[in-house]
Structure 1
């Protein structure tokens, strides 16, 4: 029990612990052993939290009201409970638990709420921007397995926000921009044109946003570009790359930043020759390399 909480008498301690034993016993005959483990562990941790902070009835009611509000704002386009999981670090911790670090295998991070199936296919060196506003960025790299063998035909899904901080689906169902998929060549190489990532806020007009405001936290995500890499016989990885030097790297609202995913986006002056000869005489552009290493399944 923390030093900030009042002392609890032995009689009171016994009352509280008897309740925990009773609740745990209520799940003792659960046929599904995994569900039994989950529920009993949840009871132990939840009751431990209540006892540790000496939760008041008013605080309990406010928690119920918060969850009710989260349910009311959730619909088929917005999931406030996932957002809550994100800002508490629970989403990222679940990913950590399920994607153990292994050598130089590319680390996973949160998928985010804006992935959409059926993104258009682009060729190697193609443009997935689709007219979205922002500074052009040449992205290239290779996909290998953990033994260093190139992975030919790996599928890469890529998606990102525009310079105004919005994904295409936030504009409406009929817009496709800032997303696409492509396949690696025989040497495992890939390349495409995207946008230089910029920061943007997670949805913060609901109860999760109010929680962030009350706790003095920013709703901003560090600048990033999403990837999902899949290949037969190899484990799918969902990840981002982040912009080296971004001041939000240590303050990402959903705790998705990992050091191995921070990459140097080298800015090029207008008129600098591009890798594919694309004429960019009147604007700057950036380039970044991201090599993806996939584990065996």
Structure 2
């Protein structure tokens, strides 16, 4: 097209796409470019503003590596990750939430009731519940992955003093659908703010803090995979999570106990539990695979 104008450039781009373009890809590209071009025209975007945006993306690429992905963080803090999660959670099961950048594949498997606390500092916390379907049926053989920060607010991949896979595990439910693990309370923490995303926080007066939470992935044959987080009731950042991950059904309560006789049966930590200890009861509800 020789005479491209503000009115024709969007269609010009679309006309350049070949007939062999995958229909879904073409649909997504069409909507993305239509919205992007409309944004530029509506805001009368200046060349300097656009170049600043491109530099922001360049800087995000420069700071990213195998341990840190600034683009994932950008998706999180702009609400896009949570919006995609919510679009995919329009069912009767437990809500999904953001995966985050610190999930590590290959965490060691613990038996139900296993001890994840080990020698980590902090009060003993027992987290247990069941996995069931939306019909109430208990799910045997569900694989659960759990990972969290230590008491200092750092994941093991951020902290050279922690061993690999510290406070990370996988677990498989038995016939009763139950999972149980002993651990410590995770701490609130700041998302990385020493890069481009930090500039965005400071430019908009936002907090980079996240409320304390446990990460979970729950998978079982015949059910949709669930990627989610469970948050502590009463956390000071619960209503201003930097990545918009909190959902009403993902809030847990730490219930204090001062009696070791009240510990659930079958815990590997029974002999080393401290007082006070805390109990969390949280069940996961999985939606059918094709829902």
TM-score higher than 0.5: yes
Residues 137 and 286 in structure 1, CA contact (< 8 A), matched pair in contact too:
yes
Which residue does 2:69 correspond to in 1? 79
TM-superposed deviation, 1:196: 1.6
- The equivalences for 1:83-162 within 5 A come to 83-97=73-87, 99-103=88-92, 105-162=93-150
Residues 89 and 96 in structure 2, CA contact (< 8 A), matched pair in contact too:
no
TM-superposed deviation, 1:149: 0.8
TM-superposed deviation, 1:217: 0.8
Work out the CA distance in 2 between the residues paired with 1:79 and 1:233.
Answer: 32
SS in 1 for 2:237: coil
TM-superposed deviation, 1:107: 1.0
Determine which of 240, 245, 249 is the counterpart of 1:251.
Answer: 240
Residues 116 and 182 in structure 2, CA contact (< 8 A), matched pair in contact too:
yes
Work out the CA distance in 2 between the residues paired with 1:244 and 1:204.
Answer: 25
Residues 134 and 195 in structure 1, CA contact (< 8 A), matched pair in contact too:
yes
TM-superposed deviation, 1:273: 4.0
Between stretches 26-35 and 229-238, larger displacement belongs to 26-35
Measured at CA, do residues 174 and 190 of structure 1 come closer, stay the same or move farther in structure 2, by a change above 3 Å? closer
Between stretches 122-131 and 86-95, larger displacement belongs to 122-131
Residues 77 and 243 in structure 2, CA contact (< 8 A), matched pair in contact too:
yes
Measured at CA, do residues 281 and 155 of structure 1 come closer, stay the same or move farther in structure 2, by a change above 3 Å? closer
Runs of 4+ in 1 over 6 A off after TM superposition: none
Unaligned runs of 5+ in 2: none
Measured at CA, do residues 119 and 40 of structure 1 come closer, stay the same or move farther in structure 2, by a change above 3 Å? same
Q: Tell whether 2:271 aligns with 1:265.
A: no
Work out the CA distance in 1 between the residues paired with 2:51 and 2:105.
Answer: 39
TM-superposed deviation, 1:280: 6.6
Measured at CA, do residues 207 and 272 of structure 1 come closer, stay the same or move farther in structure 2, by a change above 3 Å? farther
Work out the CA distance in 1 between the residues paired with 2:50 and 2:263.
Answer: 59
**Deviation readout 1:139-192 (Å, 9 max, x if unpaired):** 010111111111112111111001111111222495231111112121111211
TM-superposed deviation, 1:272: 7.1
Measured at CA, do residues 180 and 20 of structure 1 come closer, stay the same or move farther in structure 2, by a change above 3 Å? same
TM-superposed deviation, 1:35: 1.8
